[in-house]
Amino acid sequence: MKYLKKYALLESNLVYQKDWEDFKDLIQSEILDDWDIPQSLVKESLPGKTGNQFIEPELHIRINEYYNNLEPEDLIRDCRNLHKQVYLMTGKFIHVNWSSQQVNITLEEYPNHWTILQDFNLQEVESDNTINRYSGGVCDLQTALQILDYLNSFTTVAYKSDIELFKKCYSIMQSKSDCKLVFSLPIFTQERFRQTVCFKFCFGENWNAQYPIFIINTNHVDHILIRYRVGKYNWNEFSGERKILDALEKFNYSGR
């Protein structure tokens, strides 16, 4: 049992019954009514209960009765945009994903890519991080450091040495031209060593260009990487402080 607890950020996610009912009322008024989704397409999963708290409750919304639906990106965005209301109401972070032909919604103890974009008021842009197809959030160095501190308050994502290396990388890129950062959070789970954080160094506003990305992957021994695409399915990757700094010194951004 002690061994298992070492590798868990949190115990089972518990949501007070009243908070869950208030949350469902919010989904009804802000999502189901606006999107004209009937109750017959909405299901809730309640795996268990302890006292007046549900254990890992989940809400499922099917778009229609057919099973060949495209991902409803606008609906999912509307659900994610309830983050601040949900947090004030429940003290939880809303997590929304699309799988099994339905929108699945949970309330969790930890943030995600979309809640951080909102909490830090980041401009959302399309930007390749080489890992997933999430959008990104434009930020400056100070905000990036604040985001890392924030994530570290949930579990250790970046050590002091990692943050110092990040600052050195930014300084090199800033010396080439005015540099902006694009944040993305491909993975942030309640398991230890299952976090991946990305900051892409961008020049101008071509956010999707093949610029270097500072990647923190807690699942790797060499958990700091620099990666940039050199083709649709290929990229260069560097680890180790000296190799990372050398790669950025030599990086030629012109024409990208």
Write the pLDDT tens digit of every residue in 123-163: 999 999 999 888 999 999 999 999 999 999 999 999 999 99
Contacts of 26 by beta carbon, 8 Å cutoff, 6+ apart: 82, 85, 86, 89
What is residue 219's DSSP assignment?
T
**Domain limits, the chain:** 2-109, 121-250
Q: What is the pTM of this model?
A: 0.90
End-to-end Cα distance, the chain: 52
Burial status of residue 242 (CB atoms within 10 A of its CB: 0-12, 13-18, 19 or more): exposed
Residue 211 burial (CB count, 10 A): 23
- Alpha-carbon torsion (34, 122, 130, 255), positive or negative: positive
CB 104 within 8 A of CB 97: yes
Greater confidence (8 vs 89) lies with: 89
Question: pLDDT value at position 12?
Answer: 63
CB 214 within 8 A of CB 199: yes
Q: What is the pLDDT of residues 1-59, one digit of tens each?
A: 333 333 444 456 899 999 999 999 999 999 999 999 999 999 999 999 999 999 999 99
CB 208 within 8 A of CB 194: no
